[in-house]
Amino acid sequence: RRAVLGLGLASLLPMRAGATPADLAFVVIREGREVGTHTVRFREEAGLLRAVSEVRITVRLAGFVVFRYAHDTEEAWRADRLVALDSRLDRNGRAVASLARAEGGRLRLRGPGGEALLPAAAAPLTWWRAASLVPGVPLFDPREGRPVEPQLERRAEGGGQRVTLIGGEGAVILYDAAGTWVGFETTGEDGSRVIYRRA
């Protein structure tokens, strides 16, 4: 997992102009049991690509809800630039919100921890957009509205790409040969294994 392999990034480049991605739907599996869903829906609107993500996770133990997670994110992209993002997260009844707005040659980020000005090329860690996970793209966590600098490792796998994020809870994100998001794996807050399966 930690071995760094050099590779071409052709499949991580942006999609051709005018191409609207197909909607995505995943089942979230924790320790072998289905616990939720993650969907991303796309639409073109006034020259913008809008991506609306919805995550719903509920973990039960002996019939009782022990963990509930809901995260809604809406992104607006003009070509390769993020121009707006709104995020609302509810974790076990504790709600937080963050937003990002393009301002001139910068991106203004506001979250629970405060405000930051990022380069115009900054992108959120929302997984669906493979072109964000390449060298030189400043990243931020939309859940908390804060810049992050994860270590990224990439390698070719099954005709597509495997991107590993090292740091924090870590994650493995899989893309097919066309750069479409097809898989995800991470570690839950309690140390459990969480994987995504295409619905």
The series of mean pLDDT values per 10 residues for the chain, 199 residues long, is 33 51 97 97 96 97 94 97 98 97 97 95 96 94 93 94 89 96 93 95
Angle at 190 between CA 143 and CA 99, to 5 degrees: 5
Q: Provide CB contacts within 8 A for 104, sequence distance 6+.
A: none
Q: Which pair of structure tokens corresponds to residue 52?
A: 């609306």
Torsion of the alpha carbons at 153, 156, 160 and 164, rounded to the nearest 10 = -20
Q: Provide CB contacts within 8 A for 115, sequence distance 6+.
A: 108, 109
Q: What gap in Å lies between CA 111 and CA 96, rounded to an integer?
A: 8
- How many CA atoms does the CB half-sphere of 78 hold within 13 Å? 7
Q: Do residues 93 and 68 lie in contact, with contact meaning Cβ atoms separated by under 8 Å?
A: yes
